[in-house]
Amino acid sequence: MVDWILLANFSLDVAALMLMLICLFSVSISRDLERWSRRFFRVFFSVLILYIACNLLSIILGTVHDPGYTTSTKLAVYFESLFSALLMPLLALYLLHCAGENWRRSPLFNGVSLLFLIYFVLLTVTQFTTFIYYYTPDNVYHRGPWYPVLLVIPIVTMLLLLAALLRRKDRLTRKQFTAFLLYLLLPMLGMLVQMCFFGLYTIVFGSTLAATFMYVFIHTDQVEQHVRRQEEIARQRASIMVLQMRPHFIYNTLLSIYYLCQQDAKKAQQVILDFSSYLRQNFTAIVKEDTIPFSEELEHTRSYLAVEQVRFEDRLYVTYNTPATRFRIPPLTLQPIVENAVKHGIDPELGPLKIHIETRETEKGHVIIVTDNGPGYVPVNDNEPHIALNNIRERLELMCGGTLDICSGKVRGTVVTITIPERSEQA
């Protein structure tokens, strides 16, 4: 006589295992997922595969009514339950990442981790008691009177994650929200069916199906975001053309070099070298599609300021304090800001212009601060192409999630602060 429940469980597990292997292979070859998401799904699918494999092994071993297989079956069931519970902290971690929160200080992650620890202790104690479930000497599984207690913690964890998801709805895209919602609802439905129909392991297939839907929704969402980002970058690349040199800057520089050739040939050579470096960096930046190392942008800025210092001599002083350079920023970010400071800050009535460029490493990423002692920042309708602060702000947000803040100094002058978040530096 065919055991239809056994056949159904075996078929569902095999189908789930094949589906997860396909998903894991898809993640491995995907180039559209961000690095953080790719790592998450690799770990998540690997845990799910172990969960399914343990469940499949427990089904096979459970058909052998032999005392010699009891320990192996118990271990298979134990790790099956442990891997199943481990999915919840991983899901909480990814939810916080998508919502832009730090998991290290999150009460949600701490709460879910605590519930997982309680479940782990309870599951371990279960192996030495008969209150929740047990195996007879001939390798037959039986539920104990307290069996529902083992399911309470996963249900509470899912409800906690569901409440956390609803609270963070506005911080997620529509597809991200749908992906997390499906993952929480489908396994919960499978768990309820499994509680009602003894022996039918619907939660395994429900978790697999939910994970697949979550991956598909997240993947398509990131593909769409990538396409939109590329379109926006293409638009910004067109806009970045306007960040090239001002015509009078070129004329004045060439004129300075002309006079220096007679007065100080070595200095003229240095200006030509700095000006050539500036031109090279400017033209290279136009065709860049991604962020660049900050050291390159700093070199570009130094070349520009070196040329300007020759032109303005004792009317322009520049200092640097840039110990932190191991991060990336969009091209033509720092240099136009410094150029803007020179244009608006050189004023014979105010005395020499002093520009200070500083970088700092913080817990959240890196910060670039440009200060000057010029007349101060006054928002005006200035359409000169090289200023384009809004263009720089948009590219920072688009390409690395950065921000740009500009304000007047305490006494006079201007302070420009660029913040580059940590996760963008690792992408």
Residue by residue, pLDDT tens for the chain (427 residues) are: 346 677 777 888 888 899 999 999 999 888 878 888 999 999 999 999 999 999 889 888 877 777 778 888 889 989 999 999 999 999 999 999 999 888 888 999 999 999 999 999 999 998 888 888 888 888 888 888 888 888 888 889 989 999 999 999 999 989 999 999 988 888 777 767 666 665 666 788 888 989 999 999 999 998 888 777 776 766 666 555 545 546 667 777 888 888 788 888 888 888 898 888 888 877 776 667 678 899 999 998 998 898 888 888 888 999 999 999 999 998 888 988 998 888 888 887 778 999 999 999 988 899 999 999 888 776 655 544 334 677 788 888 888 889 999 888 777 789 999 999 986 554 4
**In one letter, which amino acid is 215?**
Y
Q: Go through the domains of the chain in sequence order and give each one's CATH number.
A: 4-231 (1.20.1070.10), 244-426 (3.30.565.10)
Tokens 């297989």 correspond to 69
**Is the CB of residue 403 less than 8 Å from the CB of residue 393?**
yes
| pLDDT at site 2 | 45
Length of the chain measured in residues: 427
> How far does Cα 210 stand from its chain's mean position?
22
| Number of other CB atoms surrounding residue 287 within 10 Å | 9
Q: What gap in Å lies between CA 122 and CA 86, rounded to an integer?
A: 14
Strands 353-362, 316-321: pairing is parallel
| pLDDT at site 379 | 62
| pLDDT at site 196 | 66
